[in-house]
Each structure stands twice: as structure tokens, then as C-alpha cells.
Chain A
Amino acid sequence: MKMIVCVKQVLDPEAPPTKFKIDPNAYNVLMPSDAAPVLSPFDEQAVEAALRIKDANGGTISVISLGANLQRDVVKKPLSMGADELILLEDPAYVDGDSWSTGYALAAAIKKLGQFDLIFCGRQAADSDSGQVGAAIAEILGLTQVTVARKVEVMDGKVRVERVTADGYETIEAALPALITVSNELGEPRYATIKGIIEAKRKEPIVWKPGDIGLDTFKIGAAGSRTRMVKVYQPVHVSKCEMVAGANEEDAGKNLAKKMAEARLL
């Protein structure tokens, strides 16, 4: 199995909401918070999905990450988990794109990598929450896509995917090659091993500039986008919470029930 996983570096989505700030004067620029960047969590699960297939069926995993100022300890995490190589599309021309122009660049890199059986992405990035890059890559490369996977297995030359639905899941069988996007229901990504961390330290990522993969800069990043952000703002929350107390915690619970009854909420 030759597998490719696309991963994105994002601001830590688990940082407390109070830390999150936007520069209101910068129109559409999001200020980095002081929280350290991480790999988008669903992308780590995508790496895990590929690793499970590598464990079961054998194969290799190439990881691709697109962005600028990619922190090596962040983007190397899949290597320390067991992936084989890391390719970085790192250049200012790649960034500030939309799902289309990002998928366009990633598809070009995948073409350069050559033959593959499976491509994995996270179901959505934790910053843009868009969930479209997988579809863009699949469309450009003419691949079958299955999104929001909770389980992925390869058997008899086909991929079997459990796809999360609103009321459960459905099992879909697809011919290879295919593109799968992965959701958290897959389960926790594995920890890096000591051996993995040492190996990851040694491996240098391959960096491809737009010219290396035959891309014109007007087709990628912000220039290649089909969508445009016209405004960004932070919703304001005015807290109107009435705190209910009591002689002790149990009593506070009783008072809460009374309050709710008064407000006709019971």
C-alpha cells in the first residue's frame, strides 16, 4: 500500500476561547494567539488511519503539509508516529488560499510523488472548519472520495470505510485508489515512540517550492482562490448568567430546581 496523508499546522483549537483574538483593524488577518501551533487534530487521526493499514497490510506513508513557518517539531509528528517521509509545500505563495487553491497545490505534489493507493485527509481543519480540501484533491485527481470515516480497512484490493452518519454509520466499499477523510470516531492517534522521535529528528523534510511541482503562483494561495473573505469578527457574548447558590452544593441543586420552576423551565 502506498499511502499519502495531508496534514495542516493550526493554532491550538483547544486553547481557551478567551485567548483567541483577532486584530479588528487588520480586516481579514487573524492574529496568532500565544498558544503554540499543533497539527489539526483530525489530521493526526488521518495519520493514525494510515498507520493502522500499514500495520495490517504493510506499505509506506508519505505526509504532505502546506503552509508557511511550519514548525518542524509540529509537522514532524507523523514521522515520529511511524510515517516514512515528509514533504513540505512551504512558501509564502502557497498560503492564504481557499480549499480550492490549497487542494490544487496538494494535488500537484501528489502527482509528483507518483503512484499511490490511498490518500487521507482530516475531515476538516480546526481553523477554517471548511472540510473541502479532500474533495478538491479527489476532483482534480479523479478519485473516489469517502468522507468522515470512523474505520478504514483494506481487503481484497478494495478499501472498506465506515462513514459516520447522523444516526450511526454506513459501510462503504470503494475501489482503489481513493481519498478518505477521517473523523475523531476513528479513535485516539497513537503516541510517538522514543525510536520514532529519534528517527524523526534525523529525517529531513523535502521542501517543494511551487516551481518544483510545476505550479504557477497565480493559481495557488490567495491568488488562486475562488472565494474571498470580506469581513471577520469575534462574536460578543454578554453573560447574563444568574448564579444559584445554597447552604451547600446539594442545597444549591435544590435551589436551581426552584429557580427553573419559577422560570417555567420544568
Chain B
Amino acid sequence: MENKGVMIFAEVTDGKLSPITRELLGAGRKLANDLGEELSAIIAGSGVVSTAAKIAAGVTDKVYVVDDPLLKDYCTEAYAAVVEKVCQIAHPRILLMGHTTIGSDLAPRAAFRMGTAAKTDCIALDIDDMNKQLLVTKPIFGGNALAVFTMETFPQVATIRVKSMTTQAVESTGKGEIIEVALGLDPAAVKTTVLQKVVAENEGVKLEDASVIITGGRGMGGPEGFKQLEELAKLLKGAVGASRPACDNGWVKDIMQIGLTGKIVSPDVYIAVAVSGTTQHLAGCSGARNIIAINKDPDANIFTEARFGVVGDWKKVLPGFEAEVKKLMGK
């Protein structure tokens, strides 16, 4: 059977489509239009998917809903079975997922199960006019190079980097058909149990939603420096982020890591303090509209991405900065 159409794997949080899903819908619709083919979605879960399915149906041509108690918590085996089952029915040409906790685990496994292949953490998607093949652009070597790949097997599976696609206002046609698919998986096939989920969220503004982020790097030298960044973040109504070494050293929580293997953020203002600006770090913050860098090394790579920069020791630069900000804000 010929593979046709673009399918997205929707993620649902609190009964709503998650932000990455809205990105996938925008990107998927564009590819579907380029191909002149349908856009469909998979929604899977246990008892919570019906409202989300209705929303997705508004902006897709078909929604495949798989509702099963085995899908209550994410587990690779059950969700790979979902993807395989739906693809056996729908035969999509392209399958897109978010490069998230779920998508990055699921996409490769489901792809291999179906005898095809995936590319992960892609930042651009195109259709080759010549042969209708999907072309994906993916940063490699931590972002030092960009590579364009195609897959020679179907469905062509790709995971999309969070915040790499603009969340287009997706027109609601309200015409999408909802198709219920039974999972039919033997519970014995699932050999994992989720014992607990630990949420280590910080107080205040969430990094993903913050319009101002102040990030500290290895040059902060310890947890004390981050206290100053927190003060400043409060003043600017922003959030504090960190480079990987600051997390690895235990100065701040792991969930504050920005970068390739941390969080992807896109604030209006990203103030990088004592961060050298490696490509792996920039992968998480290059979507910021304005990067401001404070670093004692004039040759630090972070300056190549910055709009404003100060060369100096943060211990001396920050007090002046904070005093002036307070003055300007009339505090």
C-alpha cells in the first residue's frame, strides 16, 4: 500500500494539546499542503483524550484516538504499539513527533519496529519537489554543523526540536473525522512500571514561559553567585537558568539546564553571565530575541551571538548593572 499523508503524534497535558503539539500541527499542515495530502493526528492516553481529540479534529483531517488503561503513564512498549497499530491503518508518508521526554524515546523505537528510520531533534522540514521525499535539517556536532537528511523507508519519522517551528494559527476546519482504534495489547507485554513522578519545578516564572532569563555558567564559581542572579531575576520578573557545568556541580537544580540536552528557551532577553557560549549551550538559547553577554574573556564565543556585551568580571559588573536597573525602574 502506498504511504500517503502527514501524521503527527499529539501530546496531551492536563487534557489540552501541549505547546509542541501546536508546533507539530503547524509544521504538519504546511507539509501536507505542499504534498496536497491529508494531515492526521494520533492521540493516545487513558480516559483523558476525548476533549483533546475534539480540538485536534478541528485542525486536522483525521484523528486516531487510542484510549486504553495501559496508556495511563508513558511507557515505550505500549506507545510503540499505538504508533505501529495506527500506522498499519493509516499508512502515513511522514510521522512527526516532538523532541520531548516522550517523543525522543518513542520515535526511534516505533520507527525501527515498523522497519523504517527516524531523525531526531530536527529544526527544519521540507519536501523535495522532485520525489516528494521529506528533507529534515538537523544540527549535528552539538550544533557546529547542520545536516540535511532524508529517509529511504516509510513512514519517514522525525522529531522536532521544541520551539523550532512557529506556532502558526492553525485554521479550524472543524471537519476532522475521529477514528477510535483499539490498542489490543497484552498487558504482559509491558514490563515497566512507573513508581513515582517527581516534579522539581522552581518557584516563580517557568523557564519555558519566561520573557527574561538570566543564566549563570561555570564562571559563577558556586551557588552563592546564583543568589545574585535570582535577585536580579526577581527584579526583572524573569527566571534563572544555568549551563550544564553549573548543574553538574550541584550549584543549581538539574532542571535549570539550558541547551541541547536541557531546556530550549526563547525569551525576549537572555542574559548570559560567565557562560562561554558553546554550541551545545547555544542550542538552547539561540531562539532568544536578544542575548546579552557578560564575560571576562573578550574572545568568548557567546559574544558572537550577543546584541550587547560587557567584558568584565561579573562580580563587579553585576552590582553596577543592578543598581542602574533599580534606578531606571524607579525603585
Interface residues of A (CB under 8 A from B): 11, 13-14, 16-18, 20, 22, 28, 30, 98-100, 103, 123-124, 126-132, 135-136, 138-140, 144-148, 150, 160, 163-175, 178, 183-185, 187-188, 225-235, 237, 239-246, 248-261, 263, 265-266
Q: How far is the CB of A129 from chain B (nearest CB, A)?
A: 6
Residue pairs across A and B with Cβ atoms less than 8 A apart, 15 shown, are A16-B301, A28-B147, A144-B77, A145-B105, A165-B101, A166-B263, A226-B153, A228-B149, A232-B147, A241-B293, A242-B308, A244-B310, A248-B316, A249-B313, A253-B317
Which residues of the other chain, B, contact A28 by a CB distance below 8 angstroms?
Answer: 147
Interface size on B, residues (CB 8 A): 88
How many angstroms from the CA of A10 to the CA of B312 in the assembled complex?
34
| Given A174-B192, A250-B316, A257-B325; A30-B145 close (CB under 8 Å) | yes
Residue pair B151, A265 in contact (C-beta under 8 Å): no
- B301 lies within 8 A of A17 (CB): yes
Most-contacted residue by chain B among A132, A229, A266 (CB, 10 A): A132
Query: A230 and B149: CB pair below 8 A?
Result: yes
Contact with A along B295-324 (1 / 0, CB 8 A): 000000101111111111100111111111
Q: Give complex CA distance A67, B316 in Å.
A: 49
Residues of chain B within 8 A of A231, CB atoms compared: 147-148
Contact at B329–A174, with CB atoms within 8 Å?
no
Q: Given A132-B120, A139-B109, A249-B313, does the pair A170, B318 have CB atoms closer than 8 Å?
A: no
Other-chain contact of B148, A170, A230, A234, A254 (Cβ < 8 Å): A230
- Known contacts A132-B120, A227-B117; A169/B145 CB under 8 A: no
Q: Is B116 an interface residue (CB 8 A)?
A: yes
Known A249-B310, A253-B321; 16 more pairs at CB < 8 Å: A20-B141, A30-B145, A100-B117, A127-B140, A129-B138, A131-B104, A147-B76, A170-B194, A172-B192, A174-B191, A230-B148, A242-B307, A243-B311, A253-B312, A260-B292, A263-B290
Contact assessment for A253 and B195 in the assembled complex, using a CB-CB cutoff below 8 Å: no
List of A residues within 8 angstroms of B306 by Cβ: 241
Q: Which of B112, B140, B269, B280 contacts A128, CB < 8 Å? A: B140
Mask: chain B, 260-303; 1 = CB below 8 Å from A; 0 = not: 11010000110000000011100000000010111000000101
Establish whether residues A234 and B145, one from each chain, have CB atoms under 8 Å apart when the complex forms: yes
Shortest distance between the CB of B194 and any CB in chain A (Å): 6
Binding stretch for chain A, among B37-45, B55-63, B179-187, B197-205: B197-205
B189 to A: closest C-beta gap in Å? 10
A256 touches B311 (CB 8 A): no
A96 to chain B, nearest CB (A): 13
Question: Known contacts being A129-B260, A254-B320, is A135 close to B101, with CB within 8 Å?
Answer: no
Tell me which residues across on chain A come within 8 A of B173, comparing CB atoms. none
Contact yes or no, A250 B319, CB < 8 A: yes
Chain B residues within an 8 Å CB radius of A185: 247, 254
Q: Are A145 and B76 also in contact (CB < 8 A) when A131-B120, A243-B309, A266-B328 are?
A: yes
Q: Do the beta carbons of A237 and B263 come within 8 Å of each other?
A: no
Assembly CA distance A246 to B317 (angstroms): 10
Kindly identify which residue among B149, B236, B312 contacts A252, using a CB–CB cutoff of 8 Å.
B312
Which single residue of chain B is at the shortest CB-CB distance from A134?
B108
A168 touches B311 (CB 8 A): no
**B128 and chain A: residue at smallest CB distance:** A230
Given A17-B278, A129-B260, A266-B329, does the pair A233, B146 have CB atoms closer than 8 Å?
Answer: yes
Contact of A173 among B105, B149, B192, B305 (CB under 8 A): B192
User: Which chain B residues border A18 with CB–CB below 8 Å?
Assistant: 301
Q: Which residues of A contact B194 (CB under 8 A)?
A: 170-172
**Measured CA separation A99–B138 after assembly (Å):** 14
In the complex, whether B164 has a CB less than 8 A from a CB of chain A is no
Other-chain contact of A257, B146, B279, B301, B321 (Cβ < 8 Å): B321
A14 to B306, CA, bound (A): 21
- Any A CB within 8 A of the CB of B167: no
Contacts of A242 in B (CB 8 A): 307-309
With A14-B278, A237-B304, A263-B290 in contact, do A160 and B195 touch (Cβ < 8 Å)? Answer: yes
B93 at the A interface (CB under 8 A): no
* CB < 8 Å neighbour of A144 from B191, B322, B325: B191
* Residues B112 and A136 in contact, CB atoms below 8 Å apart: yes
Tell me the complex Cα distance, A217–B278, Å.
Answer: 38
